[in-house]
Amino acid sequence: MTARRPGPGASLTERITAAGGSRVVSLTIYVLRRLLWMIPVVFFVIVITFVLMHLAPGSPWDRTSGRPLSPVVAEALDKKYGLNKPVFEQFLLYVSNVVHFDFGLSYQYQGKTVTSLIGEGWPYTATIGFLAFCLIAPFGIGLGVLAALRQNTRLDYALMGFATFAASFPNFVIGALMVVLFSVLMYKATGGNFYLPAGGFDLDDHLIMPVITLALLPIAFTARLTRASTLETIRQDFVRTAWAKGLTERLVVVRHILKNSLIPVVTTLGPTFAILITGSVIVETVFSIPGIGRAFVVAVTSRDYPMLLGTTVLFSVVIAVANLVVDILYVAIDPRVRVS
């Protein structure tokens, strides 16, 4: 039995030690088990993608336009990339290479490894993803709390109406409409003096539209969830007690309401990561940004199988890690959660 219950200000480590050693042990076991579980997940993602590619009719050297490759060249290419070996052998080879972080050679870009291509695209995707993430937390949570605190007012309706729109319109549609509005029409209206660039990448106004396009859906998603969970918390007894004690609105909202209502919001950070990744695929295409998402689309349209496999594996690992971190965070911030 533990003698002292940690106060609300206790840090995570204090809380864990106060709850007894068993919690630390069970949490560690839980994390380890989840980490190990990632191995089969990634393995199956490889299996699924690999099987899909090899079941597909035709070969990666088929051209939809232009002169078809001569059989001699195709055979040489097959030999170069090891496609003449039995499928199962290719698979084993690929998996053993992946374990050594070797994702093979790209078909599309001669002489470049998948790893180097991903390395080239990574900074772009990471910059935009990071900036979008920085918008999601303050705007999503802020707007959600605001709407909940002013429930059934015009502000609430306006914010939720906006969230519904943002959640329903696909990001390539939002991106396209923004380009029309802020690049084309603004260019025409100001005579070319002031407009936002419709494509390319630079650490300036090139970032505005892609980041907003990427962040809009998760912001809407987070705002709706925050509103719902805040509304639920507001009706609880301890909040009424806090009001009755005569606490200021600030204290009640920050200390009592937010602390509880944000717990379910944290759990959606995992899905948010998945949204950001699939979003980057589209946003980078709309705004011609040379990131990993764009590389993925190029690989899809040009049947660059090693590139496709490499990016898919990378995406699934990122999502699996994000989900794991979120689950650990969830256990850490909510002392009521028991790991099993």
What's the closest the beta carbon of residue 247 comes to another protein, in angstroms?
27
Instruction: Round to whole Å and give the CA distance between 64 and 71.
Output: 16
CA dihedral 297, 301, 303, 305 (to 10 degrees): 10
Residue 274 or 329 having the CB closest to another protein: 274
The residue (of 109 and 187) whose beta carbon lies closer to another protein is 187
Q: Minimal CA–CA distance to 279: which of 152, 166, 149, 110?
A: 166
Q: Kindly state the tokens that stand for 89.
A: 């052998």
Helix, strand, or coil (residue 339): coil
Instruction: State in angstroms the smallest separation of the CB of 22 from another protein.
Output: 26
Torsion angles phi and psi, residue 105, rounded to 5: -100, 145
Rounded to the nearest whole angstrom, what is the least distance from the CB of residue 314 to another protein in the complex?
11
Give whichever of 115 and 278 is closer to another protein, judged by the CB atom: 278
Q: How far is the CB of 49 from another protein (least distance, A)?
A: 6
At its nearest, how many Å lie between another protein and the CB of residue 275? 8
Task: Tell me the Ramachandran region of residue 191: left when phi exceeds 0, alpha when psi lies from -120 to 50, beta otherwise.
Answer: left
Closer of 25 and 48 to another protein (Cβ): 48
DSSP class of residue 206?
G
- The nearest distance, CB 284 to another protein, in angstroms, is 11
Q: Which amino acid is at 160?
A: M
Q: Tokens in use for 224?
A: 């709706």
Q: For the chain, first and last CA: distance in Å?
A: 19
Residue 16 or 276 having the CB closest to another protein: 276
Q: Is residue 209 within 8 Å of residue 283, measured between CB atoms?
A: no
Residue (256 or 303) nearer to another protein, CB = 303
Instruction: Determine the length of the chain.
Output: 340
**Which spans of this chain sit near another protein (rule: CB under 8 A)?**
37, 40-42, 44-45, 48-49, 52-53, 55-57, 164-165, 167-170, 172-173, 176-177, 179-180, 183-185, 187, 198, 274, 277-278, 281-282, 285, 296-297, 300-301, 303, 308, 312, 315-316, 319-320, 323
